[in-house]
Every structure is written in C-alpha cells, then in structure tokens.
Amino acid sequence: QQQVKQSPQSLIVQKGGISIINCAYENTAFDYFPWYQQFPGKGPALLIAIRPDVSEKKEGRFTISFNKSAKQFSLHIMDSQPGDSATYFCAARPSGAGSYQLTFGKGTKLSVIP
Amino acid sequence: KAGVTQTPRYLIKTRGQQVTLSCSPISGHRSVSWYQQTPGQGLQFLFEYFSETQRNKGNFPGRFSGRQFSNSRSEMNVSTLELGDSALYLCASSQTGNYGYTFGSGTRLTVV
C-alpha cells in the first residue's frame, strides 16, 4: 500500500533527447509528489514537485505529468544534457496529520551520452 | 543560506559498537527527518522530528533512535551495530515537515 514503483531502472539517452521516467503508486492518500536528483557522493536534491490538483508542472527543462485516475506520474527531461547524468528518484507523501515521511521509488540511473 | 550539514561524512565501526550521527538543518527549518539509503533497499524512512518531538517512525528496530534539540539540530544513534547497518544515512530538513525537504550529503557508515 505504501509502495511507489519506478521504471526504468536505468536509461541511456542521446544528448538533446527526451528522458522519461515513470512512477506508479497505490495509496490514494498520497498528496505530494516530488522528484529528486542524486549525484554520486551527494544527497538527493529536490528537482520539482507536484500536488494532485494539477496535471502538469514545468520548471525549465523538467516537467512532471500527473495522472490521478491512473495513479501514475512521470518526469520528462527535455533536451537532455550530459550534466543530467545522475540517479533520479520519485517520491510521495501522504496527507494527514502524522504523515511526515516520504516513500521513495527505487531510482533510475540516467546516462546522457554525447 | 547554508544547507543541511551532516557530520561526520564517513565512519567505520566494528560490529557490536554504537554510533551517533549529527545533523544541522537549514536555519529556520524545524523539521528534521532521517533516511537510510542502501543499494538493495533504496531510501527508507527512519524517523521525523519537529520541535523536539518525534512525530513519525519508520519500520526499523529499536536499535535505531534519534533526538532533536531546542535549536533543531538532530542526532541519530544506532546501538549494537550489525553488518547490515552499513549504509548512507541522510538527514533532510524542512520548515514544517510537509513539503520542500532539503537533504544533506549524508554520513557513510561502514560496519566491519
């Protein structure tokens, strides 16, 4: 019930291409969906986040698409660059008092090749 | 604005020992959460503190404990270390604990 399933595990994209990472969840109480980017030796850094009242949010080259009925959300990285090579994690947090924890997907290792 | 600071960055401990990790949140952030990151299990929630009170606890044994001080700094303690406790321990802070979690670079714990 608390799981967030992320795919693919790894992704190779040509420079300038679009990287797409997908996540699915079961718990309908989730109401906050952030994406994190992690470089080796660093902690995860918040990229972009969405609430279920909107279907899409864009920040620069990063876009979250959210499908509430399908319980799925995805990260699109436009014009992917070698500097985007990192591990990406989707996460979700349930609403309600006493729910101050993020449930993470297993991560996607993105490699952008020149 | 300084980020989340975790000390030490690296630790090597022997099985059976105990360890204390420290986290200084971003100034003004009152919520501090702790996560364990391993290659096999990924990122798993340990506990969350707000104004010195533990509000949430993950599914970890009682050997894992934490506390938060009046200045919002937090420590986590692991007693009777096991080989499986080897992991990257991450601290995240936010203003209220609801959104906008900022992570530190973590403490890499190796148990031998």
- Each of the 112 residues of chain B gets a pLDDT tens digit; together they read 689 999 999 999 999 999 999 999 999 999 999 999 999 899 999 999 999 999 989 999 999 999 999 999 999 999 999 999 999 999 999 988 778 899 999 999 999 9
Task: Give the confidence band of A98 by pLDDT, cuts at 50, 70, 90.
Answer: low
Distances (CA, A) of A73 to A5, A10, A15, A98, A111: 10, 17, 24, 24, 21
Q: Where are the beta strands (DSSP E) in chain B?
A: 5-7, 10-13, 19-24, 31-38, 42-50, 53-57, 64-68, 74-78, 87-94, 102-103, 107-111
The minimal CB distance from B103 to the residues A43, A103, A105 is found for A43
Closest CA to A62 of A81, A47, A73, A42: A47
Under 8 Å between Cβ of A23 and A72: yes
The minimal CB distance from B43 to the residues A99, A100, A104 is found for A104
The answer to whether the Cβ–Cβ distance between A32 and B45 falls below 8 Å is no
Under 8 Å between Cβ of B107 and B65: no
Could you tell me how far CA A55 lies from the centroid of its own chain? 14
The minimal CB distance from A100 to the residues B35, B42, B48 is found for B48
Distance from CA of A86 to the nearest CA of B (A): 15
**A32 vs B contacts (CB less than 8 Å):** 98-99
Between chain A and chain B, how many beta carbons pairs sit less than 8 Å apart? 60
**B42 vs A contacts (CB less than 8 Å):** 89, 104-107
> Nearest residue on chain A to B46, judged by CA atoms?
A101
| A11 vs A77: CA distance, rounded Å | 12
Q: Could you tell me how many helices (H) and strands (E) chain A has, helices first?
A: 0, 11
Residues 6+ apart with CB under 8 A from A69: none
Distances (CA, A) of B39 to A13, A114, B102: 23, 27, 21
Q: Per residue in A60-73, pLDDT tens?
A: 999 999 999 999 99
The minimal CB distance from B56 to the residues A41, A89, A101 is found for A101
Backbone angles phi, psi at A84, to 5 degrees: -85, -10
